[in-house]
Structure 1
Amino acid sequence: MRHERGPAVSVSVTHGPRMLVLLLLVASLGACGLPRSGPTKREIFAGSTVKGGDAHVVSVTRAVARATAVTPAFGFSAGFRDAGLVGSDTIAAGDTLGLTVFENVRDDPLLGNTGQRVSSLNQVQVDGQGYIFVPYAGRVKAEGQTPEGLRQAITRKLDTQTPDPQVTVQRLAGDGSTVTVSGAVSGQGVFPIERPTRSLSTMLAKAGGVSIPTGTAIVRVTRGGQTGKVWLEDLYRNPGLDIALRSGDVIVVEEDTRSFVALGATGAQSRIPFETQNLSALEAIAQVGGLNTGLADPTGVFVFRSESAEIANLVTGRNDLSGDQRMIYMLDLTEPTGIFEARDFMIRDGDTLYVTEAPFVQWRKTLGAVTGTVGAADTLSTVGPGR
């Protein structure tokens, strides 16, 4: 009998210390925590206002998605929109003109030599005050006039000095009415406002078009002390935004600088620029490579943001909040309408998209850490202190 019971006692004595070590390791790992990408869903809820924290945790519904759908509103003021197209023949300061005067005399012409009835004045520059100088006619206001209007003005001044003068005026260059195009365009430079390039879209085409994706291109126009900007895609969709240009306009094409941060169990953890004008939570998840199928908890997709008091009161059903509020919006992709809510919820500049790890992941990490530690302990025990 003693011989049969001996092995049982031996097993108990041998495995007892190992079990004790295993239990101590599990307890210590649970107390100290394991490596992870961020807080668990339980810890996020523990920091909510209902638990004494300072962040409002709100589940995303259709109403919440509608209330928070705030996107940048760009456009041009009435001063830009109401300006008509500049006449392609309107003379401006800096323009170069060509004048020809036909005189109805042969022996003693006013402008030419004897026997010369035709006098040409080429490369007549319109000065900074908008005037040109014509011999025997003096200073004549040219800026703002058409070539026909200027022709009539010169004719009236010469008519008293030479019989029936015939005058022609030609606008040789539009350098006086120019705009500057810079930024993300194929050809930066100073371009004249001519008949084919009197509107914003045609001038951008003249500059070779944009050199960045159209979905993130913003066109900014500065005129005097006013600035307006539009999305390039909106400019092409809405003819009302295709404003008429004015001399001195500065056109700059720039890329959208908005971004969000992706953390947790996603395909990429970094700062992610917007790729489109409007970005939904579902598109943001796809943009970072989707959820990590080996780690992610699809019931714990969170969006962290600072929200205005107006929207915070609306989505929380309160009316006593003031100042910016810390908001945590929760998406559950396993719900029947979860994908729809993620599609309708808009991501904004500066948002943080965070996906929690699934509960079993922590268990797997714990077991892996424990079994690895116990194995190391066994190795040390077999070596013994004397070896």
Structure 2
Amino acid sequence: MNILTSRVTRAVAVLAMTASLTACGLPRSGPNKKEIFAGSVMEQGDSFVVSVNDRVNAITAINQELGFSTAFQNAGVIGSDTISPGDVLSLTIWENVDDGLLAGQGANATVLSEVQVDGAGFIFVPYAGRIKAAGNSPEAIRRIITEKLDAQTPDPQVMVARAAGDGATVTITGKISGQGVYPIERPTRRLTAMLAHAGGLAVEPDVAQVKVIRGSKSGSVWFQDLYDNPKYDIPLRDGDRILVEADPRTYTALGATGGQSVISFETRNLSALEAIAQVGGLQTNSADPTGVFVFRNEPEEIARQVLGRDDITGTQRLIYVLDLTQPNGLFLARDFLIRDGDTLYVTEAPFVQWQKTLGAITGVTASANQLSNVASN
């Protein structure tokens, strides 16, 4: 009878300890599936929990597209010898008379060696007046001056050359092998040629973005699109600033994964399956493959389509569920695209928490036995 009583007492004690440990909470990596589902709108929560299927994948498969506006694409190619404000020109003017407008007594040529282009882009030439120089080539300026002098002196001959100044230049910074200021020359009048002239990229081409800032306007493009879509290989302009950077998008991995941190995108279009692999996969001794969740703030338009409701207003909290144990689970995960700011969370398998409970009970029982032995001695 005493043995039976002892066994019953021990069973009651184990149950009591189990309840106590469950109540006080054991260490874990985050919420379990039941707790996540409890936060859904169906359970009076504020999030929509959606199982991923082919329809959901089709609606949410939004790729980040970049590209230059028509203003950038339609800009004409400028010459390598285009004059800019601040340049200094050298002008030589020959007159076909002994006593010309500009030449001194006994000379038929006049040299204006330092004619600077002002901030508005103009120069002043005696008897020709104010000439628009910036944006023109030396040849175009020569023709303008010749036409203006032709009415005042017979058959004038004009030669124009840049005496000082860099002409049209661009600035290249960021993930590029050779940062610096580069002149726009005949071989480097377009974006791809200028990038190559600067030494090429210092980042993986698959995740490289190229941004061009022109005055108050800017545009960005994926580096690969410069070659896939020639229209994005835009002509450059004086003063353009070119920034090359890696894809700034990130997602957060938490739970029973191989790594928990903020992860940068390694490919332009990143699937859930690739995102899991990127952090080392699922933890084989703790992860629940039926509980792979993606937390996302979804825009109103997409949320309406996913949920099949037209009464949704504003951005919605959606929790997408992937079950990798389903026959097509891996295919669905392969086709589900991760977006910037997503949180990828993998729950622990139920038996993991049970193991922790048993381990805690075993540890408590062992400690109690040791204390009992010490007391009896």
TM-score, normalisation: structure 2: 0.89
Q: Does the residue aligned with 2:45 lie in a helix, a strand or coil?
A: coil
Distance 1:141 1:259 in 2: 50
Distance 2:173 2:182 in 1: 11
Distance 1:379 1:17 in 2: 18
| 8 Å Cα contact 2:322/2:333 also seen in 1 | yes
| 8 Å Cα contact 1:94/1:175 also seen in 2 | no
| 8 Å Cα contact 2:294/2:321 also seen in 1 | yes
Which amino acid in structure 2 is aligned with residue 71 of structure 1? N
Q: Does the residue aligned with 1:376 lie in a helix, a strand or coil?
A: helix
Distance 1:44 1:164 in 2: 89
- 2:202 alignment counterpart: 211
Q: What are the Cα deviations for residues 267-303 of structure 1, in whole angstroms up to 9, with x where unaligned?
A: 0011112222221101110111100011111111000
Q: Does the residue aligned with 1:384 lie in a helix, a strand or coil?
A: helix
| 8 Å Cα contact 1:184/1:254 also seen in 2 | yes
Matches within 5 A, 1:165-204: 165-171=156-162, 175-204=166-195
Matches within 5 A, 1:8-19: 11-12=3-4, 15-19=7-11
- 1:294 alignment counterpart: 285
Matches within 5 A, 1:124-139: 124-134=115-125, 137=128, 139=130
Q: Does the residue aligned with 1:370 lie in a helix, a strand or coil?
A: helix
Q: Does the residue aligned with 1:362 lie in a helix, a strand or coil?
A: helix
Compared with structure 1, are the counterparts of its residues 148 and 27 closer, same or farther at alpha carbon in structure 2 (3 Å cutoff)?
closer
- Are residues 1:91 and 2:66 paired? no
Distance 1:97 1:282 in 2: 62
1:155 Cα shift? 2.9
- 2:328 alignment counterpart: 337
Distance 1:192 1:347 in 2: 41
- 2:36 alignment counterpart: 44
Distance 1:361 1:206 in 2: 57
Q: Which of 375, 380, 383 is matched with 2:371 structurally? A: 380
Q: Which runs of 5+ in 1 are unaligned?
A: 1-8
Distance 2:146 2:311 in 1: 76
Larger radius of gyration: 1
- 1:5 alignment counterpart: none
Greater alpha carbon shift after TM alignment, 349-358 vs 313-322: 313-322
1:94 Cα shift? 2.8
Q: What are the Cα deviations for residues 1-47 of structure 1, in whole angstroms up to 9, with x where unaligned?
A: xxxxxxxx564465554333223212222333321111111222222
1:263 Cα shift? 0.7
| 8 Å Cα contact 2:91/2:161 also seen in 1 | yes
Compared with structure 1, are the counterparts of its residues 339 and 134 closer, same or farther at alpha carbon in structure 2 (3 Å cutoff)?
same
1:330 Cα shift? 0.5
Q: What are the Cα deviations for residues 161-197 of structure 1, in whole angstroms up to 9, with x where unaligned?
A: 6654433223466634222322332333333222122
Distance 1:369 1:37 in 2: 17
| 8 Å Cα contact 2:80/2:168 also seen in 1 | no
Which amino acid in structure 1 is aligned with residue 359 of structure 2? G
TM-score, normalisation: structure 1: 0.87
Which amino acid in structure 2 is aligned with residue 325 of structure 1? Q
| 8 Å Cα contact 1:180/1:249 also seen in 2 | yes
Q: Does the residue aligned with 2:224 lie in a helix, a strand or coil?
A: helix
Q: Which of 211, 217, 223 is matched with 1:226 structurally? A: 217
Q: Which of 74, 81, 87 is matched with 2:73 structurally? A: 81
1:104 Cα shift? 4.9
| 8 Å Cα contact 1:93/1:177 also seen in 2 | no
1:124 Cα shift? 3.9
1:315 Cα shift? 1.4
Distance 2:304 2:122 in 1: 62
1:134 Cα shift? 4.1
- Are residues 1:273 and 2:256 paired? no
Q: Which runs of 5+ in 2 are unaligned?
A: none
Distance 1:31 1:129 in 2: 78
**What fraction of aligned residue pairs are identical, expressed as a percent?**
61
Greater alpha carbon shift after TM alignment, 315-324 vs 352-361: 315-324
| 8 Å Cα contact 1:186/1:208 also seen in 2 | yes
Q: Does the residue aligned with 1:381 lie in a helix, a strand or coil?
A: helix
Greater alpha carbon shift after TM alignment, 57-66 vs 109-118: 109-118
Q: Which of 260, 274, 281 is matched with 1:283 structurally? A: 274
Count residues in correspondence. 377
- 2:356 alignment counterpart: 365
Compared with structure 1, are the counterparts of its residues 97 and 53 closer, same or farther at alpha carbon in structure 2 (3 Å cutoff)?
same
